[in-house]
Structure 1
Amino acid sequence: MRSHKGNEKGMTLVEILAALVILGIVFIGFMTIFPQMTNFNEKTESKLTAMNEARVHLDNFKNSSYSIDYFTSENGYVEKNGSWIRTEESGIGEVEYKIEKQPALPAGDAEGELSLHGIIISIQKDSKVISETFGYIEVGK
């Protein structure tokens, strides 16, 4: 009689089942990451969109000329806490423009000189600020 104990070249059923269980646990661990990554990517995309929209609004303000007389209730502005404030609806949410009444850099005495006023543009969704940017705009007398 021969002994087959030294000639084992295959895997037993128990070893295969143990390997499948371990692979299943690893696979389930990876599968829980993907929905979290998708959720994170969606939040990042909406935040980037809001940031870009706020910058576009700021550029529109910078590329236009204004006088002190523009910031009135007729144009949708309200005076509050030393600022002119206007809100409007946007595709992303509610956009709030807040222009400081007191100039950061007052105009000189020469004719046509402009003063620089600080502006804060915030985008809110569901009463929560999702993006905010600030800059300065030129305002005439």
Structure 2
Amino acid sequence: MERWRVQNNERGLTLVEILASLVILGIVFVGFMTVFPQMTNFNEKTGSKLETMNLARLELEEYKKPKFISDFTESGDYVDENNHWVKVKEASNGSGKIKYIVDKEPVLTSDGISGQVNLHKFSLEIIENSKIISETFGYVEVNY
């Protein structure tokens, strides 16, 4: 007879069981909802970083176009600082300052061979609120 009672128990869920399941679902839902603002903040920072990286890349390409003189301090824009030529200017998009750094000593020398150029390491930093946001480097030709 006891077996018959177990098979016929189709009363459904009690109010306590429904409320408990709703509380558990609510806790899980709130846990997931805290992730969304963090993802939005992360995406915003990533977008800002990509913008500054693209600005740095474009500035580097513009910098490489013309041929340069052997002494950057002659142009008046550069300052001789710790074995580097340094120039700081405002960014074209208004997002801070751009710092150009050219090593005085070439990385690759021509070793006196005519027609060869010396390659100097060139670094570019984008600075906003006294903090380096993006940084890139390349090599520029300096004819002596």
* TM-score range relative to shorter protein: 0.7 to 0.9
Residue 64 of structure 1: CA displacement? 2.0
Q: Please, what TM-score do these two structures have when normalized by structure 1?
A: 0.86
After alignment, is 72-81 or 21-30 more displaced?
Answer: 72-81
User: Could you say what the CA RMSD is over the residues aligned between the two structures, in angstroms?
Assistant: 1.9
Counterpart for residue 68 of structure 2 = 66
Separation in 2, partners of 1:131, 1:13: 58
Structure 2 Cα separation of the partners of residues 73 and 131 of structure 1? 28
Q: Which residue of 1 aligns with 2:117?
A: 114
Residues 1:25 and 2:27 aligned together: yes
Partner secondary structure for residue 119 of structure 2:
strand
Q: Match of 1:66, SS?
A: coil
Could you state the TM-score of these two structures normalised by the residue count of structure 2?
A: 0.84
Residues 44-75 of structure 1 show CA distances to partners (whole Å, capped at 9, x for unaligned) of 11111111111111111222211124x12644
Distance 1:137 1:22 in 2: 63
Q: Work out the CA distance in 1 between the residues paired with 2:36 and 2:76.
A: 48
Aligned residues: 136
Instruction: Provide structure 2 residue ranges, at least 5 long, that are not aligned to the other structure.
Output: none
Q: How many angstroms does 1:88 deviate by?
A: 1.0
Partners of 1:17 and 1:92 lie apart in 2 by: 53
Query: For 1:9 and 1:68, how far apart are their aligned partners in 2?
Result: 92
State the secondary structure of the residue aligned to 1:58.
helix
How do 1:33-72 residues align onto structure 2 when only pairs under 5 Å count? 33-69=35-71, 71-72=72-73
2:131 aligns to what?
128
Where does the alignment leave 5 or more consecutive residues of structure 1 unmatched?
A: none
Cα pair distance change 1:136/1:60, threshold 3 Å: same
User: Identity rate of aligned residues, in percent?
Assistant: 53
Q: Which amino acid aligns with 2:100?
A: Y
Separation of aligned partners in 1, 2:119 and 2:75:
22
The whole-number CA distance in structure 1 between the counterparts of 2:97 and 2:74 is 18
Report the equivalent of 1:13.
15
Which residue type is aligned with residue 44 of structure 1?
A: T
Deviation at 1:132, TM superposition (A): 1.0
